[in-house]
Structure 1
Amino acid sequence: MRRTKEQTAETREALLDAAEIVFDRRGVARATLEEIAREAGMTRGALYWHFGNKQELYAAMLERVRLPLAEGESALQSLADPFAALEDFAARVFRRVDGCTQTRRVYTIAFLRREHLPAESGLDEVEREMRNVGRRDFVAAFRRAQELDELRPDVTPELAATALQCHLVGIFYIGMQETETFRLYEDGVAMVRCFLESYRAR
């Protein structure tokens, strides 16, 4: 039974690997489940056994690279120096995207290969939920900063969290495109540090 579970997990991972390749090559809108199954060397039935539709497959692909960062996100909620923790979190994300081919490919897909799709595709909802999870952790960190009187009094934790998320999205969007001139880790960390300092109480 254990071997069967291992094989099931391996099959699922192989399908996600294939999805990354096809999404990156074809774009999410144009990619089909049949192409992904073929890339994995499997039948479409095998794919449907693991994933009911493209939405589930796309969500699992995003979640696979997000999970290693989840521990760091939840750790933001109880820290003596929330601003340093937020900077450290951003630095770890940038370092991971810069140093991990798989993570960088998924980020490239999410930012550059995810063409507009009809609302019924469900992909907008997948990404919205993931953004909400990340934003909740940022809000918690900024609330902690507020409790320590370190957050500017004219800024709410919710506004600061949304602004930081927008800042990170912009850095990734440019970093995914300008790979020869934009140093994602070095430039990204410097930008996040400057951004966070602008929200720190004087």
Structure 2
Amino acid sequence: MPRRTKDAAQQTRQQILDAARRTFCERGVSATSLAHIAQAAGVTRGAIYWHFENKETLFHAMREEALLPHIHHLDSLLLEDQQTPPLERLHRFLRQLIEHWTRCESLREALEIVVFKCEYVGPMLGDMAGHLSHHRKLVATLELVHREAQQRGDLRGGLSPHAAALETASFVDGLARLTLLQLRNDRLLDDLHEMIALHVGNRRLRRRDR
């Protein structure tokens, strides 16, 4: 394929993905048709079928494009900086998480679709496996961080790394929902930062526990 043609095809694919994200967010996934997305993207339905087999594969591609770079970046915050204590890395991870959600419109739209605008039934049921895979990967990464904190003597006694990881993963889900529901609240970021400090603080070994 000539370079110009390949670039044009990639541009069209990106137009479709952007239009799909906006339309899914506005209408909800089940109420959105390929015709709606084609109109929003300024292309024909045939152009969509050239790039995507059906609405489900388009949804999957839209979700992965929006969320995967975000996930990979946050994984690096948790695992790569070994000079920073693990609970400090956890605190930084959670703070950057909410900052990305509040500042990046495309990421926030994708998150809103995944959390509130999609029914995982019928043809969409298979996409639940993708959510489960991301969840398990997050829990595994968080468990490594908490285990490292335990080995350093920083983790509160009686708190297992696995249970702590599951709790933090659930806390992340709650932060996402609260961010989306309270986005226009002027105190949102202050409240979220306070919650994060409390969450991480509750993991630290207290002096009386030593």
Q: Please tell me the TM-score bracket, short chain as reference.
A: 0.7 to 0.9
**1:38-77 alignment runs, 5 A limit:** 38-66=39-67, 67-77=69-79
Deviation at 1:47, TM superposition (A): 1.7
For structure 2, the residue ranges without an aligned partner over 5 or more in a row are none
Alignment of 1:126-141 (within 5 A): 126-141=130-145
The answer to whether the aligner puts 1:123 opposite 2:127 as a matched pair is: yes
Q: Please name the residue that 1:113 is paired with.
A: 117
Conservation of the 8 A alpha-carbon contact between 1:22 and 1:35 = yes
| Offset of residue 120 of structure 1 | 5.7
CA separation of 1:4 and 1:156: change in aligned 2, threshold 3 A? farther
Tell me if the contact between 1:76 and 1:141 (Cα under 8 Å) persists in the aligned partners.
yes
Q: 1:72 to 1:116 in 2, by over 3 A?
A: closer
Q: State the alpha-carbon separation in 1 of the partners of residues 62 and 50 from structure 2.
A: 16
Runs of 4+ in 1 over 6 A off after TM superposition: none
2:151 counterpart (133, 136, 147): 147
| RMSD of equivalent CA atoms | 2.2
Give the TM-score normalised by structure 1.
0.87
Pair 154,94 (structure 1): closer, same or farther in 2 beyond 3 Å: same
The residue correspondences of 1:12-51 to structure 2 (distance < 5 A) are 12-51=13-52
Identity %: 29
Q: Secondary structure at the match of 1:199?
A: coil
Shift of 1:174: 2.1
Q: Would you say how many aligned residue pairs link Structure 1 and Structure 2? A: 202
Query: TM-score with structure 2 length normalisation?
Result: 0.84
Moved more, 12-21 or 183-192: 183-192
What's the CA shift for 1:132?
2.2
Q: Which amino acid aligns with 2:106?
A: Q
User: Deviation at 1:17?
Assistant: 0.7
Change in 2 beyond 3 A, CA 1:75/1:178: closer
Partner SS for 1:76 = helix
Q: CA deviation at 1:183?
A: 4.0
Deviates more, 1:68-77 or 1:83-92: 68-77
User: Which segment is superposed worse, 135-144 or 164-173?
Assistant: 135-144
Report if aligned partners of 2:77, 2:93 keep a CA contact under 8 Å in 1: no
- Whichever residue aligns with residue 52 of structure 2, its letter is F
